[in-house]
Copies of this chain bind each other. A is one copy, B any other.
Amino acid sequence: MSDSALTITPVGSEPAAGVAPEVLFMGLDAGGTRCRARIRDASGRLLGEGEAGPANARRGSRAAMDAMITAARAALVAGRLPGDGLSRVVAGAGLAGVSQKREMEAMRAEPHPFARLELATDFETACLGAHGGGDGGIVIVGTGSAAYARVAGAEFRFGGWGFEVGDDGGGAPLGREVVRHALRAADGLAPRGPLAEEALARLGGDQDAAVEWVGRAAPSDFGRLAPLVFAHAERDPEAARLRGECAAHVATLVLRLIACGAERVALVGGLSEAITPHLAGPARDRLVKPAADATEGALMLVRKSAP
């Protein structure tokens, strides 16, 4: 779900106590759109980064693990490290699409080439990264949406139950509303403004083409239509309405985390910058910039708990 492009902030510069210098640390952000890998040595020095395709565990644990290994090998190559070096790597990974225990268990059962692999959800790693391992909350506003917080040892989680019924505020449900509006406008059931015009053009020009597009579309395809809402909101009332609904969903998640005791909340994910100015004051006022990204949070899973 997390899809942010943040400046990389190395976490810590001291070697973790007792770790032999040849051990390497890797963070993996196994997202629904792509999988990112980052290697640091025990001193925290960045050695290399790599990327691979989608690693959404809901689409199959083996495919997700393969994407993680591909990204990990790409990071080794980028760091000019031997290709067989994964057996020296202690890796932490944040996984998209594991809202169910079953999916996490399937991932834990997959064979892997790492010296050790610690798994967490993508919202746990996003939260670790955003607050440098400290208490706080995050609201993911990427293809999907979800809210998560750690407060005094307790964990809270809201939303993120999937594209069809539980990702309100995320890009995929917003893109679906764009398609719905385009079809209604084409039928003369809603005004045919610039949002509908551009969406219809992207969907093939008419209702039949749009229905065919929907039949082939993945959540990420719907998500790619979400930016149209922000592009047209100043001159198309329907776009403004959809932007407002999206902002209301995100604000509800932020306020829920605050009510759970989260002192600081960060928005992460591809839509977070676009939606922030439109949140209601009480939600917007509590937002902080994320300290680091989910890949860095995944590194913290193992760099904190390393022997």
Residue pair A211, B161 in contact (C-beta under 8 Å): yes
**Contact between A189 and B100, CB atoms less than 8 A apart:** no
Q: In the bound complex, do residue A189 and residue B101 qualify as a contact, i.e. CB atoms below 8 Å apart?
A: no
Residues of B within 8 A of A101 (CB): 208
Q: Does A272 contact B (CB under 8 A)?
A: no
Interface size on A, residues (CB 8 A): 28
Instruction: Provide the A248-260 mask, 1 if CB < 8 A to any CB of B, else 0.
Output: 0000110010000
Which chain B positions have C-beta within 8 A of A188? 158, 256
Q: Mark A71-85, 1 if CB is under 8 A from B, else 0.
A: 000000000000000
Of A23-31, A113-121, A163-171, A298-306, the one contacting chain B is A163-171
B166 touches A180 (CB 8 A): yes
Cβ-defined contact, B100 with A165, below 8 A: no
A187 to B146 Cα, complex, angstroms: 11
Chain B CB within 8 A of A99 CB: yes
Q: For the complex formed, measure the closest distance between the CB of A27 and the CB atoms of chain B, giving whole angstroms.
A: 27
Number of copies of this kind of chain in the complex: 2
Taking the complex as formed, is A283 at the interface, i.e. its CB lies under 8 A from any CB of chain B? no
**Complex: how many Å from CA A183 to CA B249?**
14
A211 touches B256 (CB 8 A): no
User: Of the candidates B165, B176, B184, B187, which one forms a contact with A183 in the assembled complex, judged by CB atoms under 8 Å apart?
Assistant: B165
Q: Are B161 and A176 in contact (CB under 8 A)?
A: no
A57 within 8 A of B: no
The answer for the CA separation of A256 and B184 in the assembled complex, in Å, is 11
Contact A100 B161 (CB under 8 A): no
Evaluate contact between B179 and A100: CB separation under 8 angstroms. no
Chain A residues numbered 200-229 whose CB sits less than 8 Å from any CB in chain B: 207-208, 210-212, 214
CA distance A168 to B165 in the complex (A): 15
Chain A to chain B: the 9 pairs with minimum beta-carbon distance, closest first: A158-B187, A165-B179, A165-B180, A166-B183, A161-B183, A161-B211, A164-B214, A189-B252, A165-B214
